[in-house]
Amino acid sequence: MSAPADAPDWRKLTQEQLDLGFNNTLHVPQTASIVAEWDHLSEGMRTRYPQSLDLRYGPRERNRIDFLKAGDSAPTLVFIHGGYWQTRAKENFTFCAAGPLAHGINVALIGYTLAPDATLDQIVSEVRAGIDYLATELPALGGDPNKMILSGWSAGGHLSSMSLGHPHIKAGLLISGIYDLEPIRHSYLNAKLNLDDGVIQRNSPIRNPGGVNKPLVVVAGSGELPLLRKQSADYAGHRAAYGLPVVYEEIPGANHFTMMDELASPSGRLTTMIRQLFAQT
């Protein structure tokens, strides 16, 4: 769980270098075609599972959940989308449900208000409210509220780490997330986030002692930007230092976007990790 050897000290980077160090779209030239395929596959999934889409859990427009049912009383993977807290939507990620669904695991995708229309504190609160809703409504939807695992990608990895303590969440899988917000404040991403000392301290798991004592897997791709891989490795090391359960793994050859193939596939590595976490809890 040591930091990647090629990860620079962000404090020593020029503004341009720091911005590029977090810019996944520029790092992966195929981003546009990959995301277009996501949308195509997601549209197909939503067509096949139309029964429980856009369930409202709060007052704001994006306070909605898509629930894709695998079976009665089945366990549920709760998934939080990414986009650096300011882009994308749950609808872009429905394709990821294919892997878990193939193994009898329900999938619930939580939407949330994007920055700058919501602060990061508010976004975290919305995600937690979405989990509250699921804990109450899962029996009626066909799920078991006592069998929920939380996962998220990129900003969703961060939001999942901030919601792991919810009493109905049994374990977590964090995919290519951000766990220290201080470098983000100094990058181009802060234009809409407006992070300050208090927000960073409250919402950076790595800046707070200890953590939630639940099984947690932290994953990154070996083909991702070094600063992102460092975030994951450092956070896993942080948990290990406090004696908290954690597994850290880098998926060989995967970049920030192709990581999600490993959840969309029934035989993908992330799907396997989800199954293993349910078996533990």
Q: How far is CA 202 from CA 92, 115, 180, 233, in A?
A: 28, 17, 10, 20
Phi, psi of 153 (to 5 degrees): -115, 135
| Residue 17 burial (CB count, 10 A) | 12
Q: How far is CA 76 from CA 41, 67, 109, in A?
A: 21, 9, 10
For residue 227, is it within any domain? yes
For residue 11, is it within any domain? no
For residue 173, is it within any domain? yes
Start-end of H helices in the chain: 15-21, 24-27, 31-48, 98-101, 120-141, 155-163, 182-185, 190-193, 197-202, 226-241, 261-264, 269-280
For residue 157, is it within any domain? yes
For residue 8, is it within any domain? no
For residue 10, is it within any domain? no
Task: Kindly report the CATH number assigned to the domain that includes residue 42.
Answer: 3.40.50.1820
Above 80 in pLDDT, residue 243? yes
pLDDT at 5: 64
The pLDDT tens digits of the residues spanning 61-104 come to: 999 999 999 999 999 999 999 999 999 999 999 999 999 999 99
- Domain with 232, as residue range(s), is 16-280
Above 80 in pLDDT, residue 3? no
pLDDT at 6: 79
d(CA 56, CA 106): 18
Quickly state the pLDDT bin for 16 (edges 50, 70, 90): very high
Instruction: HSE, CB side, 13 Å, CA atoms: give it for residue 168.
Output: 21
The pLDDT tens digits of the residues spanning 185-199 come to: 999 999 999 999 999
With a pLDDT cut of 70, the percent of the chain lying above it is 99
Average pLDDT, whole number, for the chain? 97
The pLDDT tens digits of the residues spanning 206-242 come to: 999 999 999 999 999 999 999 999 999 999 999 999 9
For residue 272, is it within any domain? yes
pLDDT at 1: 59
Q: How many domains does the structure of the chain reveal?
A: 1
For residue 4, is it within any domain? no
Q: How far is CA 238 from CA 41, 184, 193, 244, in A?
A: 36, 19, 25, 9
Quickly state the pLDDT bin for 4 (edges 50, 70, 90): confident
The pLDDT tens digits of the residues spanning 151-183 come to: 999 999 999 999 999 999 999 999 999 999 999
Among 152, 69, 169, residue whose Cα is nearest residue 111: 152
Query: Which pair of tokens denotes residue 188?
Result: 């181009």
Pairing type for strands 55-56 and 64-68 reads antiparallel
Q: What is the mean pLDDT of the segment spanning 113-121?
A: 98
